[in-house]
Amino acid sequence: MTWIVVMNLKFLLLILPLCLSVQHVQSQTDPAATLFTGKPVIISEGHQFAEGMAFDAEGNFYFTDVPAGKLFRVDAKTGKKSLFDDQSGKTNGIAIGPDGMLYGCAGGDKRIYRWDLKSGKKTPVAEGAFSNDIAITRSGIIFFTDPKTQSVWRVSPAPERKLTKAAALPWRPNGIALNPKHDTLMVAEFGADKVHRFPVAADGSLGKSEPAYRLATGEDGRGMLDGMVVMPSGNLLIGTARGIQLVPPLSSKSADFKAIVIPPFGDRPRCNYVRLSPDGQWLYAAFRADIVRLPVRKGAIR
């Protein structure tokens, strides 16, 4: 009998670390709990391909349905959705400029449009190149990606508005974002696992690029890296084939933060675009057919 107790004790000691390990893995099976305090809330649904997102100074939310050629507005106070422009030229990425106007990549019209948010008036500010996603510096320089010619284009500030090619690339660019200081431009390599950084000079010229972030991909290596935001910490929040990802820069020496991957919710396909609300309390994510938002755990997205 004593022998049986000893053997059981040995067996317990043998399997205890394994049990603890399994318990630890199980606690990490829901990465969404790391970032969010609740479930996704659908903001809008029934779209052909929901995409670019932006917030104006009053907190009103804008997004696009690319093939439908529609631009929508969601009121910050009432949450009511309205159609802001039903002839957007298949606008994809959008951004608010330093003048408070909304700018968008109208790939269908090969134009960059500017919308007056009070009157709704739409004006072309550049034309002649296909555009996918957009970023605008505090000085009013517009950068946008062109996956068809594998280029990044630059539009000089008003009143000149000169269109020039800022970079010719050996890969297809998609998502684009500026760091908080606006001295570095991030460009996503759509079909791979890397986001590249370009130094931005005062005149808007781009320096030599280097890999800045590496993202999780499927077995095929296709990340489908899309709309993204660079956080003040330097971490990258981005929509991808694997869902929403929050990753540290490759240059980071810190070991206190590891990449977090949030798979698409339910049967949704890849995440196309992500944005944080101005107060940092909500994350908005665009999928093919709908826009959802999630309550952010305080201090989790940094």
Distance from C-alpha of 188 to C-alpha of 190, rounded to nearest angstrom: 6
Q: Is pLDDT of 11 > 90?
A: no
Q: How confident is the prediction for the chain on average, in pLDDT?
A: 91
The average pLDDT across 160-183 equals 98
Question: Both ends of the chain: CA-CA distance in Å?
Answer: 57
The CA–CA distances, whole Å, from 165 to 123, 145, 238 equal 21, 10, 25
Q: CB within 8 A of 243, min separation 6: which ones?
A: 261, 262, 263, 264, 270, 271
E strand or H helix that includes residue 32: helix 32-35
Q: Is pLDDT of 47 > 50?
A: yes
3-state secondary structure 33-79: HHHECCCCEEEECCCCCEEEEEECCCCCEEEEECCCCEEEEECCCCC
Cis peptide before 173 (omega within 30 of 0): no
The CA–CA distances, whole Å, from 158 to 55, 155, 227 equal 22, 9, 26
Q: Is pLDDT of 4 > 70?
A: no
Domain layout of the chain by residue ranges = 50-295
Q: Is pLDDT of 294 > 50?
A: yes
pLDDT score, position 30 = 83
DSSP 267: T
Which of 54-63, 163-172, 251-260 is predicted least confidently?
251-260
Q: Is pLDDT of 21 > 70?
A: no
DSSP 255: S
Q: Is pLDDT of 296 > 50?
A: yes
Distance from C-alpha of 82 to C-alpha of 117, rounded to nearest angstrom: 13
Helical segments of 119-210, H only:
none
Task: Count CA atoms closer than 13 A to 207's CA, side-chain side.
Answer: 10
pLDDT score, position 252 = 81
pTM of the model: 0.89
pLDDT score, position 5 = 34
Which of 1-15, 90-104, 168-182, 213-227 is predicted least confidently?
1-15
Residue 15: band (very low, low, confident or very high) from pLDDT cuts 50, 70, 90: very low
Residue 256: band (very low, low, confident or very high) from pLDDT cuts 50, 70, 90: low
Distance from C-alpha of 28 to C-alpha of 32, rounded to nearest angstrom: 9
Distance from C-alpha of 280 to C-alpha of 276, rounded to nearest angstrom: 6
CATH of 50-295, one of 3.30.420.10, 1.10.340.30, 3.10.129.10, 2.120.10.30: 2.120.10.30
pLDDT score, position 29 = 62
